[in-house]
Structure 1
Amino acid sequence: MRPVYTLHRTALAEIIRATRQAAPEEACGLLFGADRQIHSAVATANVADDPLRHFEIDPVRLIAAHRAARAGGLGIVGYFHSHPNGLAQPSATDQASAAGDGRVWAIVARGRITLWKDAPSGFEPLSYDTVEG
């Protein structure tokens, strides 16, 4: 059985907002929480050379988020990005750039959001429930 994550509606709303705002480019951002709980999402600039086809989270924002987590803030659970013209599953590019670090990737496409664990052996699908918060 796949691990069940909890995605708070405020995080879900931010992911959807960021995806709509970035279109037709890929949106991207950070997921914060702990213990299979995704409490919040924060959109970041997509600094990829070709943001219509790829994403790269702004490294300045990523480093700042790691520092905030070390100072007692919520930890980085993972990342989100959109596939404006694709499927809500890891692309070949996603698989090639994955670190295998166990973080969660939320992928948005055509109004659908899926969660994936970036496992050392490749992406594994995750199930989730949404809750208020």
Structure 2
Amino acid sequence: MEATLHIGRKISKIRELRGMKQETLATELGISQQAVSKIEQSAALEDEVLEKVAKILGVTSAAIKSFSDEGVINYFNTFNDNSFNNGAYNAFSCNFNPIEKWMQVIEENKTLYNEKIALLERLLQAEKEKNEVLKGK
């Protein structure tokens, strides 16, 4: 029964899950924030309006109609399943400090830069010595 009840609340929850504010949705729809608020308070919507809202939210109108809190909870609970404790799932966990890595890269770049400068100075000195030898002949 939940699948057909109060489409506005479902739009509101999907919008919030997407991290979108009413103002953003309003701008995308070309309406006021108050009009979005009214849509989210509506138990039913015209299919044309629902299609526009769905497109902006990045879902289908069918997804909005069938949205349920239980479905979201079940979806996220699948990630607590032990079958995800190995393999590619662990690739998403960050086990280092990105700022420390960035500073390490900066230090490595400084070292390479200093080595380049030292090499160029040696080459310049070798050219000067070569010119001195050629002048002396």
Shorter-chain TM-score bucket reads under 0.3
Which is greater in Rg? 2
Higher relative contact order (CA 8 A, sep 6+): 1
TM-score (norm 2): 0.18
Q: How high is the TM-score relative to the length of structure 1? A: 0.18
Structure having the larger proportion of residues in helix: 2
